[in-house]
Amino acid sequence: MANIDERERLAVLAANIGYFSNAKKPKFKKVFDRSKEERLLEQAYKPEDTQTVKQQRIDLYGKVAAAFGGEGSENGDI
């Protein structure tokens, strides 16, 4: 299993080198996005926190839609 993991890491490295060698404007974030990796790790260990953030975001979107007279407005006008 360790050998398979090492070969996988080497394959990913080779793919990344190929990307950087051939791309006109390579972006490091396409290869490795640290904030995304950290967010995924936090979601794996603390799923209740992410649900709270999602609910807060949904509530905020509802308030914005109501403020600008969207579907969530109190009088129902669009």
pTM (2 d.p.) = 0.47
Task: Give per-residue pLDDT as tens, 1-34.
Answer: 899 999 999 999 999 899 989 988 888 888 888 9
Is the model's pLDDT at 71 over the cut of 80? no
- Return d(Cα 42, Cα 19) in angstroms, integer: 28
Higher pLDDT, 20 or 71: 20
pLDDT value of residue 10: 94
Instruction: Note whether 30 and 38 are within 8 A (CB).
Output: no
Q: Is the dihedral of CA 32, 38, 44, 50 positive or negative?
A: negative
- Return d(Cα 49, Cα 19) in angstroms, integer: 35
